Structure 1
Amino acid sequence: MLKGGQGQDLLELRTLGQFTARYKAAVISDKAGRSNMLWELFKYLLTNRGCHLSAESVLEILWPDKQYQDSRSVLKAQVHRLKKMLSESALGDDHLTITSAQGCYRLDLGRLCWMDTDLLEDLFNKANKLSASHPAEAMEAYRRLISLYRGDYLPEINSPWVFYARHNYLRIFLQSVYNLNSLYGHARMYLDAVRTCEEALQVVPFEEELHICYLQGLIDAGKKGEARAHYENITSRNYLETGAEPTVKMKNIYQQISHKNEKAELDLSNIQEMAVEGKKVEGAFNCRPDFFRFLYRLEKRRLDRKNSPILLGSLTLTGHHYSPPPSDILGAATASLKNIISASIRKGDVYTQWNEAQFLLLLPDLTPETGEKVLQRLNHKFEQEIASKELVLRCKLESLLG
């Protein structure tokens, strides 16, 4: 297998994250001009390299909205233009060939062509074979594979014909991350496992299993505080964006983050804050995130029969353009915001600090209009008290029926 970048005459094809065809230090795919259809044809033939493809099927799959009287002649002309375009970049049969026989076309890569997905599959097979007998070599192969995957296969293509290949390469990437982390776990290389997941999440940020793998790495590395913060961040984001509660797998990993004894103490502590008679509580009720989730579920069940709205509000501190808030002023701003919330909402309302920069509010028995006024009042008080040009308080309200 030729390696990308080796040899002056090497044609390098990258398809993961962004399509580029590079030859002799020039990116020939950037010279598309009016050749978008030709490059789309090239990508389809490339995806199905080694296969004989009929003219009728190619045209129907690539351009289904167009009608052709003579599909063979049309595709023959397009293939001729494609070959001419490639030959103008001085590519020859040692790089790739497009052959035809009985109305079918086939693309094959030559000895002077390197393609990232071919190397991806080779590394995956190599690492899997070595994992039991030579774990160190398997780790190195998995690491190379993970660094090779830069994103979806041909992300600029939205047609169904690319979906199977795209899913297959994503599956190889994710399985490699999980396999590598398993090897790291056996070798007690927990911080390496954490770093691997962090890199993978930069490329695939919404894969739940990857977040679980990351949380497990943090737990194994003794970083339960970071694990708790990450768990609360992703579960609150999912809840606010989709209304989805944590899955069973997420709940199971949370049990490792919060030991059962610790969880029992947490619940009893919050219950005492509500139930002890004679205890004077000023302002709204503040609780820990896990108990907040329990109270929300309880309130939702109570209102199921009444079909009444439940208002869930979020107050998030960010920098401008949604950048992370400056860490040097975040702590003081969060403390001030907590005091503002406690003094400004009703005694029967509930709030929690979900993560270092976000609060959630449970506002029962309010209309959406009144709830919006509550958030506006909190925002106004925050702007008066925290006169910072580096912080923005972003407020959001969800109305969920029981």
Structure 2
Amino acid sequence: MKLTIKTLGVFDMKVNGSSLIKKGSRTYKINKLLQYFIAFRDRKILPETIIENLFPEDEYTDPKNTLSTQIYRLRSLLKSIVPEEEDRDNYLNINSVNGNYILEVGDRVEIDVDEFESLIKKGDQKLAENREEALEIYNKALKIYEGMFLSENAYEVWLTPVRNYYNRLYIKVIFQTIDILKDKENYDKIIRTCEKALNYEPYDEDIHICLMEGMLKQGQFTNVLNHYEYIVNLLKKEMGISSSPKLDKFYKKIKSTISEKKKMTIIDFWNKIELEEPKGAMHCDFSDFKIIVDNQRRKGERSSEDDYICIITLEEGVEDSSLNSTWRQEITNILSSSLRKGDVFTFWNDRQILILLHEVKQQALMIIEKKFRDKIRLKPKISRLKINIDFKPLIEIEEEKKEATK
């Protein structure tokens, strides 16, 4: 015969699947005393400690005698469980040792918290070497957990240390399980694990966040937003707080993820792109320059915009590589600061620069060239260099190209 005792959740004690616990006013104190001994099994307990913890408000003329009577009744109950042909030492026995009481647990008794703790230790040992096997062991432990330790005695102070211990074990194995499932990208299982855990730990923010992360990974955007609203309202109602730094941070992640997945609007695009504040002309790669020029060419076919291509050439004869490097840096600074915001320039090679001048009149070209040369003369490192500057209308370039292809 096996005697099984369930303490995680609603207390029960069974033999061959049949419950031995009878509930009622006459058995309430006996059941409570039994639960107390199971919680502190295999430990010596003073009678005064038991009275103080279990019956602090009861007024007895002789408390010790009353406790002795209760223990006699409990012993009789435990004795009646065991058939005559069985060895009683294999089951539950309350003994007296030097003025203390002790509940001794025999080999034919299975207590759920012992199995729960043993499985977690085995899972921890396997975690480093075989995470898949550790996950299987952790899942077995989680199946045992059906609520906090002796949940019917929610407000018993004496239970707090023991209950907190098993609660910590449960929370620990929940997050170790989730961590393994994340590696496997098994988000469906993460969601189910978190949903079950929240039945027992409804205010644990980290479990709520893991649940919402799983929903995000599966694209359950409506569910994740509904759950976020639910947990925020729960915290406000039960704890008087509107949110928390963790939840606020995760909400930003929700919004960011959803914005990346949903169909984009023009405003979404504008808010998403990082536009720099324009400061003078745009310096770009040659490939980008070609695209910009082609766009301006297309616009010029249907408008009267005066766009010019300018080419600045460093004359042959300068072979000093360090001077070439200086020229490139200095001319970039000059063009960036002196050209207008709508103008664009790029380096064709080490000695030549291409510029697109947008909407400029022919009479202004001489002024632009003079401005360039004046600024170059103010730069000692490149002032002695000889450069050529040529201008040509974009429309004229296009017409010459068409003529050449006829």
Give the shorter-chain TM-score range. Answer: 0.5 to 0.7
State the partner residue of 1:195: 192
Tell me whether 184-193 or 225-234 shows the greater mean CA deviation: 225-234
Compute the RMSD of aligned alpha carbons.
2.5
SS at match of 1:259: helix
Structure-2 change in CA distance of 1:261 and 1:41 (3 Å): closer
- State the Cα deviation string for residues 27-78 of structure 1 (Å, max 9, x = none): 1112666121111111111101111001111111111123455544433332
Match among 93, 96, 116 for residue 120 of structure 1: 116
Match among 15, 27, 30 for residue 23 of structure 1: 15
Match among 247, 253, 257 for residue 254 of structure 2: 257
Structure-2 change in CA distance of 1:231 and 1:55 (3 Å): same
- State the Cα deviation string for residues 326-377 of structure 1 (Å, max 9, x = none): xxxxxxxxxxxxxxxxxxxxxxxxxxxxxxxxxxxxxxxxxxxxxxxxxxxx
Say if 1:131 and 1:138, in contact at 8 Å, map to a contact too. yes
State the partner residue of 1:142: 138
Q: Distance in 1 between matches of 2:159 and 2:139?
A: 26
Q: Which runs of 5+ in 1 are unaligned?
A: 1-8, 269-402
Structure 2 residue 39 is matched with structure 1 residue 42 = no
Superposition pairs of residues 52-67 of structure 1, within 5 angstroms:
52-67=44-59
Say if 1:116 and 1:148, in contact at 8 Å, map to a contact too. yes
Q: Which letter does structure 2 place at the counterpart of 1:204?
A: E
Structure 2 residue 225 is matched with structure 1 residue 228 = yes
Q: Distance in 1 between matches of 2:270 and 2:69?
A: 72
State the partner residue of 2:319: none
Superposition pairs of residues 91-170 of structure 1, within 5 angstroms:
92-157=88-153, 158-170=155-167
- State the Cα deviation string for residues 258-317 of structure 1 (Å, max 9, x = none): 11894988999xxxxxxxxxxxxxxxxxxxxxxxxxxxxxxxxxxxxxxxxxxxxxxxxx
Structure-2 change in CA distance of 1:112 and 1:261 (3 Å): closer
Counting matched residue pairs gives 260
SS at match of 2:242: coil
SS at match of 2:152: coil
Tell me whether 138-147 or 239-248 shows the greater mean CA deviation: 239-248
State the partner residue of 1:376: none
Q: Distance in 2 between matches of 1:39 and 1:194?
A: 37
State the partner residue of 2:351: none
Q: Distance in 2 between matches of 1:60 and 1:205?
A: 32
Say if 2:203 and 2:235, in contact at 8 Å, map to a contact too. no
**TM-score where L is the length of structure 2:** 0.59
SS at match of 1:238: helix
Structure-2 change in CA distance of 1:222 and 1:63 (3 Å): same
Say if 2:221 and 2:258, in contact at 8 Å, map to a contact too. no
**TM-score where L is the length of structure 1:** 0.60
Q: Distance in 2 between matches of 1:107 and 1:266?
A: 72
Structure-2 change in CA distance of 1:127 and 1:90 (3 Å): same
Using the TM superposition, give the Cα deviation of residue 222 of structure 1 relative to its aligned residue in structure 2, in angstroms.
3.7
Structure-2 change in CA distance of 1:182 and 1:74 (3 Å): same
Q: Distance in 2 between matches of 1:121 and 1:175?
A: 12
- State the Cα deviation string for residues 199-223 of structure 1 (Å, max 9, x = none): 2223332322211111122223343
Q: Distance in 2 between matches of 1:218 and 1:251?
A: 17
Superposition pairs of residues 321-336 of structure 1, within 5 angstroms:
none
Using the TM superposition, give the Cα deviation of residue 98 of structure 1 relative to its aligned residue in structure 2, in angstroms.
1.2
Structure 2 residue 244 is matched with structure 1 residue 247 = yes
State the partner residue of 1:383: none
Using the TM superposition, give the Cα deviation of residue 239 of structure 1 relative to its aligned residue in structure 2, in angstroms.
3.3
Say if 2:235 and 2:242, in contact at 8 Å, map to a contact too. yes
Q: Percent identity?
A: 27
Structure-2 change in CA distance of 1:237 and 1:71 (3 Å): closer
Q: Distance in 2 between matches of 1:240 and 1:38?
A: 38
Q: Distance in 1 between matches of 2:196 and 2:150?
A: 20
SS at match of 1:111: coil
Q: Which runs of 5+ in 2 are unaligned?
A: 261-267, 273-406
When Rg is computed on C-alpha atoms for both structures, the one with the higher figure is 2
Q: Distance in 2 between matches of 1:191 and 1:10?
A: 37
Say if 1:146 and 1:200, in contact at 8 Å, map to a contact too. no
